Amino acid sequence: MSVVSFNKEKTMQASEPTVKTVPAKPVVAVVKPLSTTATAAAPLLQKRGAWAATAKRVFEWLLPPVTGLLIFAAIWATVSALTQGLPGPVKTWQSAVELFSDPFYINNPNDMGIGWNILNSLKRVATGFALAAVVGIPMGFVIGRYTFMSRMAAPVISLLKPVSPLAWLPIGLLVFKAANPAAIWVIFITAVWPMIINTAVGVSKVPQDYMNVAKVLNLSEWKIVTKILLPYVMPYMMTGVRLSIGAAWLVIVAAEMLTGGVGIGFWVWDEWNNLNVEHIIIAIFIVGIVGLLLEQCLVLVAKRYSYE
Amino acid sequence: MTNNMMQDRYVLIENVNMTFQTKKGSFQALKDINLNIREGEFISIIGHSGCGKSTVLNLIAGLLQPTEGYLFCAGREIAKPGPERAVVFQNHSLLPWLTCFENVYLAVERVFGDTEGQTQLAERTRAALELVGLSHAVEKRPNEISGGMKQRVGIARALAMEPKVLLLDEPFGALDALTRAGLQDELMAIMSRSGCTAVMVTHDVDEAVLLSDRIVMMTNGPAATIGEILEVDLPRPRKRLELVEDPAYTHLRSEVLKFLYERHAKKAA
Ligand SMILES: Nc1ncnc2c1ncn2[C@@H]1O[C@H](COP(=O)(O)OP(=O)(O)OP(=O)(O)O)[C@@H](O)[C@H]1O
Ligand SMILES: [Mg+2]
């Protein structure tokens, strides 16, 4: 028997029990399918020329959303033609052009341009949201890290989380005795739950392996938080932040309708009292577009801060 | 305890029982474990999957506390993990958001940060990575390097702490045979230079015989214990190709195989 074959037989026998270690690897393999689609597209590029392929891709990318929007506009136009009082797309567009020709005028405190209204709403959302982050994220860390804290917080959170944030408005008015802080308070309540919960879930999911590393290296609590917990939890936290900014923006319209002042929600209410339906429809679009932009900004931030 | 006794019984495991509390009730993993490890000795723990090898290692590391019995290291009871006992984890356990350098630096900083400046710490980190032949990958992240390289970083991280005892949990289990052989040779060289005590969990009979001074063979769980201890008196330095034809080596190897597959064969699950 030659040395080589003897060696081979040995390793085969000896490595028999190690079969169970195989699952450690697949993580790397997940990446592969992406590259196969890329190579499949390559011959296509050569055949039809780069330009045609790009045009095709843009077309494929653009066609469905444009079609969707056109269908939406068509239904809207039909409904408005059949009913009375609901303005159609063209009329709304004209009104929007006029409205945005001078977004930042100030006639008196109750009559300001649409730009001011949007900015004021954004300011409230930003304030309430920032407060929620300052309170919610550290709380999430503590709750996720210590079982005692999580058991302590569980009943309170599960009791309060399903309550509509608007139900907190009267409490806000009562405590702060003013409309603006009460609206900010409502945004705070809206935004704080997703931040607490997502951060806590992230912290509690930190793999035991990493915590074992922390124990074996005897890392200080500060190092554990900055070098292990924070980087691991960042994606979870960003999900929480994204959910809460969406919800906050959703709620601000309703809150402002109730509190008054300058803001997109109050503006909608005002235009309803003026029976200016075009403006209400425009407001719906504004709220939608701003909400979309907010979320997209946060998606970009999230990508920037995830380690993968 | 005299100095001599300390050297002979550097790591001491006395009547250790380990019972886990699980949802289905209590589960006794280890029973009556007794082991003395000499200073500078290389011990392998071998046994079938699930018998409790990792549990023994985690007990020595201080990550687990025994339900009964005592563990000592250098005459002091093991109460929690400490820098004199470094661990190389089975799945490398590198932090994916840190570079290789930063991963090792984290350990170095913790052990020597109080007494040394930043340049010295960085110097130590680089030296440790150079020791395992990774100078070129210092700034890479773990997901940018191969499995073998990750395992090397894990070893570098442990060695950089200048531990008295190195604990290795199937350090090469996930690697292919060629990479594994290369790393085994490197580990042997490093251990003979550093002279530190080592306890390694393994599934690989050849690995155990090649590297160890003694092989601890464990019976199957539940309530697993030490079945036999095999002295490996092959002279060092050992060369794997020469050993293949050495009758003493072949004998030791078959002893381990007989223990595992005859006396304590595991029924296929
Ligand atoms: N934290 C725990 N809680 C409950 N049971 C555990 C725990 N850790 C280990 N066990 C049990 O103890 C036994 C020994 O586990 P251990 O991980 O030490 O085995 P092992 O010999 O290292 O196995 P392998 O070779 O597969 O790594 C197993 O039956 C396992 O299910
Ligand atoms: Mg194990």
* Tens of pLDDT, residues A66-87: 999 999 999 999 998 898 888 8
A82 and A172, same domain (yes or no)? no
Of B7 and B83, more confident: B83
Task: Say yes or no: CB of residue B49 within 6 Å of ligand 1.
Answer: yes
CA gap B89, A21 in Å, rounded: 13
Domains: count for chain A: 2
Nearest to B91 by CA among B161, B30, B51, B142: B142
The verdict on A148 and A292 lying in the same domain is yes
Judge if the beta carbon of residue B26 lies within 6 A of ligand 1: no
Per-residue confidence (pLDDT) for residue A109, from 0 to 100: 73
Please say whether the beta carbons of B16 and B70 come within 8 A. yes
On whether both A226 and A132 belong to a single domain, the answer is yes
B197 with B11: CB under 8 angstroms?
Answer: yes
Burial class of residue A244, CB neighbours in 10 A (0-12, 13-18, 19+): buried
Exposure string for A64-82, b = 16+ CB within 10 A, e = fewer: eeeeeeeeeeeebeeebee
Q: Residue B195 to residues A157, B89, B162, B183, B191: CA-CA distances in angstroms?
A: 55, 21, 11, 17, 6
Extract the tokens encoding A284.
């719906």
- What per-residue confidence (pLDDT) applies to A30? 38
Q: Is B22 in the pocket of ligand 1 (CB under 6 A)?
A: yes
Query: How big is the A-B interface in CB pairs under 8 Å?
Result: 85
Chain A residues in contact with B63 by the CB 8 A cut-off are: 212, 215-216
- Phi–psi pair at B226, nearest 5 degrees: -80, 120
A219 to B106: CB separation less than 8 angstroms, yes or no: yes
Question: What local confidence, expressed as pLDDT, does residue B81 receive?
Answer: 92
Q: According to the model, what pLDDT value does residue B1 have?
A: 53
Looking at the fold, whether A189 and A262 belong to one and the same domain comes out as yes
Q: CB distance from A30 to chain B under 8 Å?
A: no
pLDDT at B172: 87
| Judgement on whether residues A273 and A216 belong to the same structural domain of the protein | yes
Smallest Cβ–Cβ distance between B63 and the set A28, A215, A308 belongs to A215
Q: How much is the average pLDDT of B138-158?
A: 91
Mind listing the pLDDT tens digit for each residue in A269-278?
888 888 888 8
Q: Can you give the CATH number for the domain in which A219 is found? A: 1.10.3720.10
Domain assignment present for A225:
yes
Residues at Cβ < 5 Å from ligand 2 ion: B 54
- Complex confidence, ipTM: 0.84
Give a yes or no: residue A91 inside a domain.
Answer: no
- Residue A189 in this model has a pLDDT that exceeds 50: yes
Residue at A35 is within a domain: yes
pTM of this structure? 0.75
Contact A230, B98 (CB under 8 A): no
What is the whole-number distance in angstroms between the Cα of residue B55 and the centre of ligand 2? 7
Regarding the beta carbon of B33 and ligand 1, being less than 6 Å apart is answered no
Cβ–Cβ under 8 Å, residues B169 and B57? yes
- A258 and A173 part of one domain: yes
**Domain end position, chosen among A51, A86, A121:** A86
pLDDT on residue A42: 55
Q: Is residue A92 part of a domain?
A: no
Is the pLDDT score of A1 beyond 60? Answer: no
Residue type, B159: L
Q: Is there a domain that residue A93 lies in? A: no
Q: Provide the residue range defining the domain that includes A78.
A: 2-86
Which B residues 90-109 touch A at CB under 8 Å? 90-91, 93, 95-98, 106-107
Instruction: Specify the residue with its C-alpha closest to ligand 1, atom 24.
Output: B49
Mean pLDDT of chain A: 82
Same domain for A292 and A213, yes or no, is: yes
Taking CA atoms, what residue in B is nearest to A14? B204
A40 and A183 belong to one structural domain: no
pLDDT (0 to 100) of residue B267: 67
A8-12, A52-56, A293-297: least confident range: A8-12
The last residue of a domain, from among A86, A112, A135: A86
Residue A59 and residue A9 share a domain: yes
| Nearest residue of chain B to residue A210 (CA atoms) | B93
In a domain, A94, yes or no: no
Same domain? A192 vs A282: yes
Mean pLDDT score, A156-185: 92
Q: What is the pLDDT of residues B183-238, one digit of tens each?
A: 899 889 888 888 889 999 998 999 999 999 999 999 997 899 999 999 999 888 88
Q: What is the DSSP string of B127-169?
A: HHHHHTT-GGGTT--GGGS-HHHHHHHHHHHHHHT--SEEEEE
pLDDT score at A111: 75
**Atom number, ligand 1, closest to the C-alpha of residue B18:** 12
What whole-number distance in Å separates Cα of residue A94 and Cα of residue A71? Answer: 20
Kindly report the protein residue whose alpha carbon is nearest to atom 1 of ligand 1: B20
- Do A126 and A233 belong to one domain? yes
Strands B85-88 and B165-169, bridge-based pairing: parallel
Contacts of B107 in chain A (CB under 8 A): 217
User: Would the CB of B44 count as within 6 Å of ligand 1?
Assistant: no
The finding on whether B112 has its CB within 6 A of some atom of ligand 1 is: no
The pLDDT assigned to A213 comes to 92
Q: Is the pLDDT of residue A12 over 80?
A: no
Is A219's Cβ below 8 Å from some Cβ in B? yes
Mean pLDDT to the nearest integer, A198-205: 93
pLDDT band at B55 (very low <50, low <70, confident <90, very high): very high
Q: Answer whether residue A279 is part of any domain.
A: yes
For the record, the structure tokens of B16 come out as: 């250790």
Q: Are residues A142 and A51 in the same domain?
A: no
